[in-house]
A and B are shown apart, each in its own frame.
Chain A
């Protein structure tokens, strides 16, 4: 052990001993002043993380607000006559809850989504699930902390819908493809028409975009034509959703 080493040790030992022996007020005064300088990087880093956290919360709030406003906007357009839909109650006070997707059913990849919100978050079965103003599906089952969403990609999923341009009502149903069913042969419906929820159900509010008409086929059916729609949102690209409750 060199002399310099002994010297350094003795000096540092003395400093720490003095700090311990000093009374509490002096300790507090010294530590406060030292921490201003020594802990500056830590404070800087933690402030930055805090800033990121606050920003993320703000983004979440704004996304909720955006979803609410888009639906509200759709409803207001309806009442102004942009769409020839029947009057329904304006839903301007929708409560939305963000839920992260924590799993998917591997056997039916887009059919069911698992979310990190459940009964303890005041959710109920059949609550509609959306992303912005686009329909995802509804809550199928709930546990305390998690839930399962049945998406419109699930085979057999059916919902009352309306063509925004012509006001023709039908049922959107998922078979092999998503179909807009019960459209008569003489009903005017074109490719590119937007299909919205009709509001004729107790589950889904009116004016949520389901998808676009992509193909119209005439088959042997005497009454109806086959209208194929493409969902407005790709389920397998979702990381989170919003639940109307």
Chain B
């Protein structure tokens, strides 16, 4: 049921992803909370959705999400789930994604989206935790 919700959310938020990058936040949340196989498949799927809806170079988002997702899966065992740590890791993850997808390819990117995504990432992660696991933050 939870997995079903992730797919519904990703489809529902895709048209508004240029305002707040909800897909990146959702991928980050899933990597933190779900098992490794589902996380990596979902990261790939999220990349596919972005490649199809906001095309830059077909396959690039998939690849970046796959690699960054895998790195996060490795790292998640080693960090504590505190607000500052979570926001720092998300910011690094997100900035790397933006750099690799947009900056290297010389594609214009809206700085407001970047700022609002980073600002809203932590509240959204908390809300998703509350919806999916009935707690504000899992340890």
Contact = CB atoms under 8 A, between A and B. Distances in A.
Per DSSP, chain B at the interface is helix
B53 A42 contact: yes
**DSSP majority for the A interface?**
helix
Contacts of B75: none
Interface string B28-52: 0000000011001100100111011
A27 interface: yes
A30 B11 contact: no
A41 B40 contact: no
B52 to A, nearest CB: 4
Given A31-B52, A34-B48, A45 B12 contact: yes
A31 B62 CA distance: 13
Interface string A1-30: 110110011001101111110100001101
Contacts of B47: 16
B60 to A, nearest CB: 6
Contacts of B51: 19, 31
B55 interface: yes
B59 interface: yes
Contact of B66 (A16, A31, A41, A45): A16
Given A19-B59, A30-B58, A9 B48 contact: no
Interface of A: 1-2, 4-5, 8-9, 12-13, 15-20, 22, 27-28, 30-31, 34-35, 38-39, 41-42, 45-46
The 4 lowest CB-CB distance pairs between A and B, nearest first, are A19-B59, A16-B62, A20-B59, A16-B63
